[in-house]
């Protein structure tokens, strides 16, 4: 399984990129993959081909009216592991043993 953390936004379209993020989130939600939106991007969980196909569709959703698009990507592959969006955070919570400010 792969966790892909990314942010994608147009350059030169004004200060707020929220409308473009919302456009990408519609694509992500329609994919059926598990995801988490956070303040600086979105994390997808799925197979390599699946998460990169969603990334491609996000790009295609912005491309018609964005002459320049910036995208930052981080990928974490771990063989055989699924549901890490929850389990990785829970593992740290268990170790810290106090309330944490998380996106969940």
* Residue 40 is assigned to a structural domain of this protein: yes
- Domain assignment of residue 11, yes or no: yes
How distant is the alpha carbon of residue 17 from its chain centre?
Answer: 15
- State the average pLDDT over residues 70-98: 87
pLDDT at position 104 is 56
Count the domains in the chain: 1
DSSP 18-49: HHHHHHHHHHHHHHT-EEEEETTEEEEEE-HH
Sheet holding 41-46, edge to edge: 34-38, 41-46, 2-10, 69-77
Residue 92 lies in a domain: yes
Which pTM does this prediction carry?
0.87
* Each residue's pLDDT tens digit, 3-41: 999 999 999 888 899 999 999 999 999 999 999 999 999
Instruction: Domain of residue 47: give its range.
Output: 2-96
CATH of the domain at 87: 3.30.70.930
């Amino acid at each position: 399984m792969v966790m892909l953390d990314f942010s994608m936004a147009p350059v030169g379209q004004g200060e707020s990129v929220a409308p473009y993020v919302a456009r990408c989130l519609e694509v992500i939600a329609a994919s059926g993959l598990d995801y988490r939106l956070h303040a600086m991007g979105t994390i997808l969980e799925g197979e390599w081909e699946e998460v990169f196909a969603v990334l491609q569709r996000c790009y295609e959703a912005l491309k018609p009216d964005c002459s320049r698009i910036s995208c930052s990507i981080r990928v974490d592959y771990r063989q055989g592991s699924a549901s890490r969006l929850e389990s990785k955070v829970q593992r740290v919570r268990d170790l810290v043993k106090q309330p944490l400010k998380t996106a969940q």
